[in-house]
Amino acid sequence: MSTVLNEVLIANRDYAASFDKGDLPMPPGRRFAILTCMDARLDPAKYAGLSEGDAHVIRNAGGRASDDAIRSLVISYKLLGTREWFVVHHTDCGMETFSDEIMRGLLASSLETATVDASGWHDVGAGPGSTEANHISWLTIKNQAESVAEDVTRIKNHPLVPGNIPVYGYIYDVKSGRLIEVPEATKIGAAQ
């Protein structure tokens, strides 16, 4: 058994020993959802003051409004009653460090973990790789505020998203823990 697996199972055993949340309802109690990045430095429960059962938290690389993220938001609203959504990207995001072309090149070379240094990303693994990466939009980020506004726009313009849901746009500062509003995104995301 790996060390990580063992640590997770022990932590779960300890958590389950005093678990008292089994009666929480399926819909989130505070009726909102957050789309944010998977970065381990972000803890939406802490930065948004959440407890179990409060809100839906949808996480992916960059916190981007991918098809799957929008699918989750639509389910959150349509079946589980959320009424407000947040898009939260963050400073110092890894999605700013590469482009679609870089990712595609790395994966075409090998499927091993790449390395990065001052000169950029490098593939150090032995092949083979795969060209399947050419069929994926990696939704990389060049400018955080612009990407938040782009994602809010995509969500608001989606034909399955009703206009009465406000979508707020923020950037989480990994150095201070603060949420910084992207006014343009919040304006775009206003309920109609």
Instruction: Supply the CATH number for residue 161's domain.
Output: 3.40.1050.10
68 is a domain residue: yes
Domain span at residue 130 reads: 99-136
pLDDT of residue 71: 98
Looking at the structure, do residues 119 and 33 belong to the same domain, yes or no?
no
Q: Are 48 and 34 in contact, with CB atoms under 8 Å apart?
A: yes
- Stated pTM of the model: 0.94
Read off the pLDDT of residues 143-190 as tens digits, 9 standing for 90 and up.
999 999 999 999 999 999 999 999 999 999 999 999 999 999 999 999
131 is a domain residue: yes
Looking at the structure, do residues 83 and 172 belong to the same domain, yes or no?
yes
DSSP 62: G
Looking at the structure, do residues 92 and 34 belong to the same domain, yes or no?
yes
